[in-house]
Amino acid sequence: MSIQVRNLRKTFGDFVALDDVSLEVPGGELVALLGPSGSGKTTLLRIIAGLEAADQGTIHFHGEDATTQPVRERQVGFVFQHYALFRHMSVFENIAFGLRVRPRPVRPSEAEIRDTVMGLLKLVQLDVLANRRPSELSGGQRQRVALARALAVKPKVLLLDEPFGALDAKVRKELRRWLRRLHEEVHVTSVFVTHDQEEALEVSDRVVIMNEGRVEQSGTPEEVYEGPATPFVCGFLGDVNLFHGRISHGRVHIGDNELDAPEWSDAPDQAGVAYVRTYDVEVTPSPTGGASLEAVVRHSRAFGPVVRLELELVQDGATVEAHVPRGRADSLRIAKGQRVFLSPTNLRVYPRGASPS
């Protein structure tokens, strides 16, 4: 069941939560809505669910207009950040709820309900806890119950609002992988909201990056990471250094150095910012032929296979972070206070006005 979102607009008083958002979620895919707080991703999710109504725009499920359909008719499963389990019911009764409230004509028999619920409990590996109350479960277990409950009514779309946000880091990682596996088994169109980029990139088929109520970029995890379309995406994903300089005749001038920026060869002279990933900063003991920025090592810390360097540029005192492979760092014999030369590669250059800092 695919989802088509067109020109959605939503304001809360003066605040614009969604500003002309359009999106396509192909059937069967697991899509992540990624962005910082206030980007509108949760609002978008809730509008798709029918828990909020948009001011303008439409929502279609597989081509059928669902914009004004009430939530209980949309057949969406919703998983809340804080689980929203029914505290006075057992795990079994929670999961059975959606089946038990069906109108009499379409309500399954108790035996059928029992089969469905136990099947789901096995799927989420909680069958032994069927009679427990939610208060007796851990956070991770509660979230799995919430998921089973949402799946019990065989939804056409599964929506998850920061499902692992309330859990410990370790549990979050486990459940992340488990969600991926579940999706491969059940294959329901799923959309989940997160502010954790690692989660979004690791789990989803497609990532939609949002900022300030707008979609910045939509694509596979590889596409958005390797080919960021906007300065925001560039700065949001991965660790990034910003170098301020001038764009002129297809080259960008950073201090005394010049680097190629062929995509701007026709552009007028203007101030610009170059985004360089931390692992794209090459560190050498002496100046190389290309751009070489002189810097002093202020701090170095080894993290497993990578050495993280904090460097201070000599020309203006700006801080640059470089992640260097262990082997290379050892061979360079990097030490605090040492003078080195930096060579940024893989620059993404944007005019100054375009970059949201």
Partner 1 sequence: MRQSSRSVLPGFGVSLGITCTYLSLMVLLPLATIFTRTADLTWDGFWGTVTNPRVVASYRVTFGASLVAALVNTVFGLLVAWVLVRYRFPGRRLVDAIVDLPFALPTAVAGISLTTLYASNGWVGRYLEPLGIKVAYTWVGITVALIFIGLPFVVRTVQPVLDDLEVEVEEAAASLGARRWQTFTRVVLPTVAPALLTGFALAFARAIGEYGSVVFISGNMPMKTEIVPLLIITKLEQYDYAGATAVALVMLLASFALLLTINLMQWAARRRAGA
Partner 2 sequence: MATLAFSRPATTAPRAIERATGESEVIRWTLTATALAFLALTLVLPLVLVFHGALAKGFAAYLAAIREPDALSAARLTLLIASIAVPVNLVFGVAAAWCISKFEFRGKYLLITLIDLPFAVSPVISGMIFVLLFGMHGWFGSWLFDHDIKIIFAVPGIVLATTFVTAPFIARELIPLMQEQGTEEEQAAIVLGAGGWQTFWRITLPNIKWGLLYGLILCNARAMGEFGAVSVVSGHIRGETNTLPLHVEILYNEYAFAASFAVASILTLLALVTLALKTLVEWRQRRSAAERADTDDSLERIAA
Using the minimum distance from each CB to partner 2, give the nearer residue, 166 or 306.
Answer: 166
Considering CB distances under 5 to 8 angstroms, the limit depending on partner class, which of partner 2, partner 1, none binds residue 162?
partner 2
Considering CB distances under 5 to 8 angstroms, the limit depending on partner class, which of partner 1, partner 2, none binds residue 78?
partner 1
Using the minimum distance from each CB to partner 2, give the nearer residue, 50 or 221.
Answer: 50
CB of 37 to partner 2, least distance (A): 8
User: Using the rule CB under 8 A, is 336 a contact of partner 1?
Assistant: no
User: Using the rule CB under 8 A, is 71 a contact of partner 1?
Assistant: yes
Hunting for tokens 């950073």 — which residue is that? 254
User: Using the rule CB under 8 A, is 163 a contact of partner 1?
Assistant: no
**Which amino acid is it at 295?**
A
Q: How far apart are CA 357 and CA 354, in angstroms?
A: 9
Considering CB distances under 5 to 8 angstroms, the limit depending on partner class, which of partner 2, partner 1, none binds residue 101?
partner 1
Cβ neighbours, 10 Å, residue 159: 27
β-pair partners for 319? 312
User: Using the rule CB under 8 A, is 279 a contact of partner 1?
Assistant: no
Is-contact 77 155, C-beta < 8 A? yes
User: Using the rule CB under 8 A, is 135 a contact of partner 1?
Assistant: yes
Interface with partner 1 in residues 202-241 (CB under 8 A): none
* Encoded tokens for 190: 């799923």
What is the CA angle 254-255-256, rounded to 5?
110
Considering CB distances under 5 to 8 angstroms, the limit depending on partner class, which of partner 2, partner 1, none binds residue 149?
partner 1
Gap between the terminal Cα atoms of the chain: 38
Segment contacting partner 1 (CB under 8 A): 85-93, 183-191, 302-310, 335-343? 85-93
CB of 164 to partner 1, least distance (A): 16
CB of 12 to partner 2, least distance (A): 5
Question: Which of 5, 33, 47, 49 is in the footprint of partner 1 by CB under 8 A?
Answer: 49
Using the minimum distance from each CB to partner 2, give the nearer residue, 41 or 183.
Answer: 41
Sign of CA dihedral 222, 224, 227, 233: negative
Using the minimum distance from each CB to partner 2, give the nearer residue, 38 or 255.
Answer: 38
Cβ neighbours, 10 Å, residue 131: 10
Q: How far apart are CA 226 and CA 219, in angstroms?
A: 11
Using the minimum distance from each CB to partner 2, give the nearer residue, 60 or 195.
Answer: 195
Considering CB distances under 5 to 8 angstroms, the limit depending on partner class, which of partner 1, partner 2, none binds residue 38?
partner 2
Question: Which of 2, 6, 24, 80 is in the footprint of partner 1 by CB under 8 A?
Answer: 80
- Can you give the binding site for partner 2, defined by CB under 8 A? 12-13, 15, 17, 38, 42-43, 46, 49-53, 70-71, 81-82, 161-162, 165, 193
CB of 51 to partner 1, least distance (A): 5
Binding-site size for partner 1 (CB under 8 A) equals: 29
Closest CA to 244 of 322, 345, 318: 318
Considering CB distances under 5 to 8 angstroms, the limit depending on partner class, which of partner 2, partner 1, none binds residue 193?
partner 2
CB of 115 to partner 2, least distance (A): 30
User: Using the rule CB under 8 A, is 187 a contact of partner 1?
Assistant: no
Q: How far apart are CA 344 and CA 357, in angstroms?
A: 20
Residue ranges binding partner 1 (CB under 8 A): 49-51, 70-72, 74-78, 80, 82, 84-88, 97-98, 101-102, 135-136, 146, 149-150, 152-153
